[in-house]
Amino acid sequence: MKKQILLIVVIAFFLFSPLSTTSQATDLTLNNTPTQVYFSPKGGCTEAIISQIDKAKSEILVQGYSFTSAPIAKALLNAHKRGVKVEAILDKEPTNGKIYFRYLLGQCGYSHLHR
């Protein structure tokens, strides 16, 4: 009975907690390195990633399961065009079959290792 009441309280907490439509970056320090945490969607995540891509001078390494962000793909291609080495390791079908993303990533040196 106590477990059921606790479960109801926890569920009610999450259901009725105020949810913001936008999230702000959270600043924290890891191993004496200032770090920011972003959330997606509407949390500034895409903009923060593009900002860092635009600042890259020599190399960008991308690793992920899936990739479908047109703004990030364009930023990677622009970085590649300005001489930054861009490499991506993604899953077998990282673009959900979208030729556009495969083309953009292919221009940057995309490769996938999982089959």
In a domain, residue 26? The reply is yes
Query: Per the domain annotation, does 9 fall within a domain?
Result: no
* Higher-scoring residue by pLDDT: 23, 66: 66
Please report whether residue 54 resides in a domain: yes
Q: Is residue 4 a part of any domain in this protein?
A: no
pTM of the model: 0.63
Domain hosting residue 76, numbered range: 19-112
Let me know if residue 6 belongs to a domain. Answer: no
Residue 58 has pLDDT above 90, yes or no: yes
User: What CATH number is given to the structural domain containing 62?
Assistant: 3.30.870.10
pLDDT of residue 113: 44
Strands 26-30 and 110-112: unpaired
Cβ atoms within 10 A of the Cβ of 94, count? 22
Instruction: Determine the Cα–Cα distance for residues 27 and 38; give it in Å rounded to an integer.
Output: 9
Tell me whether residue 14 is in a domain: no
The answer to whether position 12 is within a domain reads no
Query: What is the reported pLDDT for 50?
Result: 93
How many domains in the chain?
Answer: 1
Q: Is residue 92 part of a domain?
A: yes
